[in-house]
């Protein structure tokens, strides 16, 4: 018989009888209560002392019970999970559970979650947006974290579904996959390499969907290429891009990636293979242009982009003779009216002087690696023009047939200046001024490895606003220049400078209209920059005199005597020759020939554009001379249509009327602004809207202060952004002026507290226009003023690396090194005045961390040869040779076509120079002197 009735198996009738018999036993008597509640508080008569009984806790759920009138037990059929969190449970509420143990990991079924398009409350969205901040919280619940990630993913799916043409939303969604990958890496097991591959494939799937809605978006195509390059090995990448190209042969981005997959691969890169790909690309683009009349302009722009990239490859691999042959044929075909020899340029290269210098080197008894390095650099600086007669070096002989397959005609007139600018840039002539929109329009902004020498960043020394931007010895080290060059005092310097100036003059002679004017202005500005740089480098003898003579001869020509722009550039040239008074006189003389200053905002002529630029230049030169009162009179007379020389009284009413008229005309001009982009030829010429707004801004700045000027510019920038959806050149120039005025005030009034406002404006501007060298120059100058290597540096680093462009990264590294140099020079003993020796460990680690960040696998600058050469120079100076060797081979792995890196082996790893020379020959790069010839000449 069972002790408890609830577990008895006997029939019901017998159970009743047995129960009664059992209850009548003398050994046990029980007084049953009237209800079950009394059971919990009753005690046996035999107990010596009452035992307190706790009241059981109520369950949050309804418990199924089977209680009869006389029953004192119940059956709990469902487990109550809440009880697991309670430390003690009173009887009889305590439940008994079975616990099962498994020797292997138990695979639970995944919990089903509604992923997409469920309605999210504002609270949910706030939680989802804060997911990234919770990674370092050890107590953060991974399940909650996963739910928040799922909610955010659903949110992104919803917005891209509702706005499929919004490119920024797609890009944010793609970048958000990195947050998911970080969660998976922290909370889930698995191979990191497999995780990276899976993350990349997720991104590519999203990109395919995005491109189905936006097939012509360059940003999305670039993003796809960037992800593929980061995850696929060279062989697989080539196959993937080849398959994509077979479906879309005219896609310039796919072509660039396909060529780079070979050019940037150590195992596949050699000159003939890469040039074959460039030939195939140009031929395909030409066929597409010929078969499609509607896309002819776009096809020609793509041809010029590939020409620029091909020219960079030839220049950086040392094949300068082939480069000039290619560029000369393009110039003769498109500018020289197909006249053969119209761009034949004779340069007097003294071969006897070269032989004498080589004899001095060979008699110096230097080590073999040093002899090879000096001889190679010497011949590289002398031999850049091809020769037709027989010579000892067969690589100097280049025929038209060698490059003819790379030649494609340019038929659109608007692309003539674009072609000329591309060719001059390849010859190391910098854009003046260098703006982000200009580089973008010319197709120079994409190629991250375009920075191979110092000439690309020279525009930071070119002044375009009256602000103090003296950068001292910044970028004073020209050791990283690559021959042929015109900066460093070296044999062949003067000859190459004469060569590039002659090329510019010949181009000017063949061009017409605005193309001719724009290139002439560029030619004048380049020579002005050479005078500015004269303090940092030694110019060739009599160069100043010859430049001044050339400019005067230009102005004497009948067609140039009435051109205001040329006189403005000549006046500024005089200023750089230490004649500021002469500069203002020339400008006022040019203005005196202007018959009428009145104009109609609805119909702006070219002459009125030039006059407005002239007024702006006079005002800024007057401000530079700290004659603010005179500058205000100039501005008021201009807006009133009076002659600048006439006297005017500045009272409150006149001033307010002038400011109102300036702003009214500014708003009129913005409302009539066309949304189409300006052709590149316009980028070097005055833009009336920008010059007018700058005059307006200077008047407000000089009379009301920088804050009122900032309010005006913010209003106008907002109107411009509403009028043009893209980041136009006009917006970039207004941002330039905005930063210039804020920096001018902060530098002269450092205690006023506007540096934070300046930083905010500069961050906004650089986010939109990262390749603007004026903005980067202001950033560098501000860094020098603060001499800060703390929080400000790391904020700058984060901002710059996010731009995805090489120029700002290069400037950031250079400014950090210069800041460290300045700090070391300023640490002096106050008594003796001598320099205090300091521990360089912090400074060295700071710079090395910047180099490591700039050369990561997912950063575009990992293929920038100039940054790698700076990295090697720094490591060689401050660290052990083994680290230098490691960095060197990493650099060669990323840039296997860059001859300058192979030459640097003689400096950094001279013991392995023989292997490096074998690599040069294997890659078919330009070698001016072989090891065998060196041994013969040395003996």
801-814: buried (b, 16+ CB within 10 Å) or exposed (e) per residue?
bebbbbbbbbbbbb
* pLDDT, averaged across the chain: 81
* Helix boundaries (H) for 704-754: 706-723, 729-748
Shortest CA distance to 584 belongs to which of 563, 560, 567?
567
Average pLDDT in the 44-64 region? Answer: 43
Percent of all residues in the chain with a pLDDT value above 90, rounded to a whole number? 32
- Look at 325 and 299; give whichever has higher pLDDT: 325
**Looking at the predicted structure, is the pLDDT value of residue 620 above 90?**
yes
**Looking at the predicted structure, is the pLDDT value of residue 700 above 90?**
yes
Q: What is the pLDDT of residues 807-852, one digit of tens each?
A: 999 888 888 888 777 777 777 666 776 766 666 787 888 889 999 9
Q: What is the pLDDT of residues 179-223, one digit of tens each?
A: 888 877 776 655 666 777 888 888 999 999 999 888 888 889 888
Local confidence band at 273 (pLDDT 50, 70, 90 cut-offs): very high
How far is it, in rounded angstroms, from Cα 333 to Cα 395? Answer: 25
The mean-pLDDT minimum among 66-70, 492-496, 515-519 falls in 66-70
Residue given tokens 């230097």 in the structure block:
366
CA distances (Å), origin 218, targets 660, 788, 801, 921: 41, 38, 20, 37
Would you state the structure tokens that stand for residue 759, as one six-digit string?
A: 């930083």
pLDDT for residue 185:
74
pLDDT for residue 97:
57
Would you state the structure tokens that stand for residue 624, as one six-digit string?
A: 């530079």
Assign 3-class secondary structure to 189-258: CCCHHHHHHHHHHHHHHHHHHHHHHCCCCHHHHHHHHHHHHHHCCHHHHHHHHHHHHHHCCCCHHHHHHH
Q: What is the pLDDT of residues 403-445, one digit of tens each?
A: 999 998 888 888 999 999 999 999 999 999 999 999 998 988 8
Average pLDDT in the 385-392 region? Answer: 83
Local confidence band at 679 (pLDDT 50, 70, 90 cut-offs): confident
Q: What is the pLDDT of residues 23-36, one digit of tens each?
A: 555 554 545 444 44
pLDDT for residue 129:
52
Average pLDDT in the 709-727 region? Answer: 85
pLDDT for residue 218:
85
Residue given tokens 């010949």 in the structure block:
506
**Looking at the predicted structure, is the pLDDT value of residue 313 above 90?**
yes
- Look at 140 and 84; give whichever has higher pLDDT: 84
pLDDT for residue 49:
42
Distant-in-sequence, close-in-space partners of 758: CB < 8 Å, separation ≥ 6 = 739, 742, 743, 746, 782
Local confidence band at 122 (pLDDT 50, 70, 90 cut-offs): low
Would you state the structure tokens that stand for residue 862, as one six-digit string?
A: 């990992």
| Residues 317/306, Cβ–Cβ less than 8 Å | no
Contacts 24+ apart (CB under 8 A), 81-90: 83/59, 86/57, 89/56, 89/57, 90/53, 90/54, 90/55, 90/56, 90/57
The mean-pLDDT minimum among 36-50, 143-157, 497-511, 630-644 falls in 36-50
> 600 - beta bridge partners?
603
- For the chain, the distance separating the N- and C-terminal CA atoms, rounded to the nearest angstrom, is 118
pLDDT for residue 1:
44
Other C-beta atoms closer than 10 Å to the C-beta of 60 total 7
**Looking at the predicted structure, is the pLDDT value of residue 138 above 50?**
no
pLDDT for residue 846:
86
How far is it, in rounded angstroms, from Cα 849 to Cα 806? Answer: 17
The mean-pLDDT minimum among 103-107, 354-358, 361-365, 750-754 falls in 103-107
Q: In the chain, what are the helix, strand and coil shares in percent, each to the nearest 5?
A: 65, 0, 35
Q: What is the pLDDT of residues 520-561, one digit of tens each?
A: 999 999 999 998 888 777 776 677 788 888 888 888 888 888
């Amino acid at each position: 018989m069972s002790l408890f009735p609830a577990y008895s198996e006997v029939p019901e009738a017998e159970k009743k009888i047995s129960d009664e018999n059992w209850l009548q036993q003398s050994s046990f008597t029980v007084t049953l209560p009237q209800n079950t509640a009394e059971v919990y508080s009753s005690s046996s008569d035999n107990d010596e002392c009452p035992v307190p009984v706790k009241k059981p806790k109520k369950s949050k759920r309804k418990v199924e019970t089977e209680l009869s009138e006389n029953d004192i037990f119940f059956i709990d059929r469902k487990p109550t999970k809440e009880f697991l969190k309670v430390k003690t449970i009173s009887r009889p509420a305590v439940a008994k559970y079975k616990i099962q143990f498994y020797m292997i990991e138990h695979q639970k079924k995944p919990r089903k979650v509604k992923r997409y398009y469920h309605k999210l409350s504002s609270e949910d969205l706030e939680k989802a947006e804060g997911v990234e901040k919770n990674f370092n919280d050890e107590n953060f619940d991974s399940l909650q974290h996963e739910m928040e990630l799922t909610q955010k993913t659903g949110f992104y799916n919803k917005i891209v579904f509702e706005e499929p043409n919004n490119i920024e939303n797609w890009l944010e969604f793609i970048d958000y996959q990195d947050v998911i990958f970080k969660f998976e890496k922290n909370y889930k097991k698995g191979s990191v390499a497999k995780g990276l591959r899976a993350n990349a494939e997720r991104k590519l799937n999203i990109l395919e969907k995005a491109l189905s809605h936006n097939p012509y978006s360059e940003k999305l195509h670039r993003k796809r290429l960037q992800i593929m390059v980061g995850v696929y090995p060279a062989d697989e990448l080539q196959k993937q891009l080849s398959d994509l190209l077979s479906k879309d042969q005219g896609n310039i981005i796919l072509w660039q990636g396909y060529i780079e997959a070979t050019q940037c691969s150590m195992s596949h890169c050699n000159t003939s293979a890469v040039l074959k790909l460039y030939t195939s690309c140009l031929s395909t683009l030409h066929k597409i242009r010929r078969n499609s009349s509607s896309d002819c302009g776009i096809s020609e722009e793509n041809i010029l982009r590939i020409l620029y990239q091909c020219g960079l490859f030839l220049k950086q691999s040392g094949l300068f003779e082939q480069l000039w042959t290619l560029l000369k044929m393009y110039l003769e075909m498109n500018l020289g009216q197909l006249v053969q020899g119209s761009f034949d340029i004779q340069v007097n290269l003294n071969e006897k002087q070269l032989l004498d210098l080589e004899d001095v080197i060979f008699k110096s008894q230097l080590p073999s690696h040093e002899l090879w390095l000096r001889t190679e650099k010497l011949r590289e600086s002398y031999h850049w023009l091809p020769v037709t007669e027989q010579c000892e070096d067969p690589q100097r002989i280049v025929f038209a047939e060698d490059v003819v397959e790379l030649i494609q005609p340019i038929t659109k007139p608007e692309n003539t200046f674009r072609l000329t600018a591309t060719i001059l840039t390849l010859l190391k002539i910098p854009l003046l001024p260098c703006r982000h929109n200009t580089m973008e329009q010319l197709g120079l902004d994409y190629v991250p490895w375009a920075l191979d020498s110092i000439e690309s960043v020279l525009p930071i020394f070119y002044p375009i606003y009256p602000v103090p931007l003296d950068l001292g010895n910044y970028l004073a080290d020209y050791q990283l220049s690559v021959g042929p060059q015109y900066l460093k005092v070296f044999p062949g310097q003067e000859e190459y400078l004469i060569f590039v100036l002659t090329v510019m003059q010949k181009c000017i002679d063949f061009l017409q209209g605005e193309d001719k004017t724009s290139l002439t202005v560029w030619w004048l500005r380049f020579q002005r920059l050479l005078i500015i740089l004269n303090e940092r480098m030694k110019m060739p003898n009599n160069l100043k005199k010859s430049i001044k003579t050339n400019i005067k001869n230009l102005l004497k020509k009948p067609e140039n005597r009435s051109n205001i722009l040329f006189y403005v550039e000549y006046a500024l040239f005089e200023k750089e020759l230490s004649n500021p008074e002469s500069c203002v006189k020339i400008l006022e003389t040019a203005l005196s020939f202007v018959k009428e200053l009145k104009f109609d905002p609805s119909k702006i002529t070219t002459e009125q554009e030039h006059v407005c630029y002239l007024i702006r230049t006079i005002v800024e030169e007057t401000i530079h001379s700290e004659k603010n009162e005179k500058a205000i009179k100039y501005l008021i007379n201009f807006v009133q249509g009076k002659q600048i020389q006439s006297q005017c009284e500045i009272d409150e009413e006149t001033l307010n009327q002038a400011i109102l008229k300036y702003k009214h005309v500014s708003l009129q001009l913005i409302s009539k602004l066309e949304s189409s982009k300006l052709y590149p030829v316009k980028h070097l010429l005055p833009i009336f809207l920008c010059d007018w707004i700058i005059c307006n801004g200077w008047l407000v700045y000089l009379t009301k202060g920088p804050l009122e000027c900032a309010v005006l510019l913010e209003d106008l920038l907002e109107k411009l952004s509403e009028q043009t959806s893209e980041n136009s050149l006009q917006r970039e120039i207004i941002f330039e002026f905005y930063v210039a005025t804020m920096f001018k005030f902060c530098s002269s009034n450092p205690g006023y507290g506007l540096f934070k406002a300046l930083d905010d404006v500069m961050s906004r501007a650089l986010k939109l226009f990262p390749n603007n060298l004026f903005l980067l120059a202001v950033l560098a100058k501000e860094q020098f003023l603060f001499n800060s290597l703390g929080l400000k540096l790391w904020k700058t680093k984060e901002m710059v690396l996010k731009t995805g462009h090489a120029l700002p990264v290069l400037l950031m590294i250079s400014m950090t090194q210069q800041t460290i140099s300045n700090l070391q020079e300023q640490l002096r003993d106050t008594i003796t005045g001598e320099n205090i020796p300091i521990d360089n460990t912090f400074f060295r680690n700071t710079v090395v961390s910047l180099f490591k960040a700039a050369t990561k696998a997912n950063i575009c600058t990992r293929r920038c040869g100039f940054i790698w050469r700076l990295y090697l120079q720094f490591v060689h100076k401050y660290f052990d040779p083994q680290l230098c060797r490691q960095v060197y081979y990493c650099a060669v792995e990323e840039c296997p076509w860059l001859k300058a890196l192979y030459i640097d082996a003689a400096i950094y790893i001279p013991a392995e120079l023989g292997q490096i020379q074998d690599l040069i020959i294997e890659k078919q790069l330009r070698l001016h002197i072989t090891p065998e010839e060196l041994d013969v000449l040395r003996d």
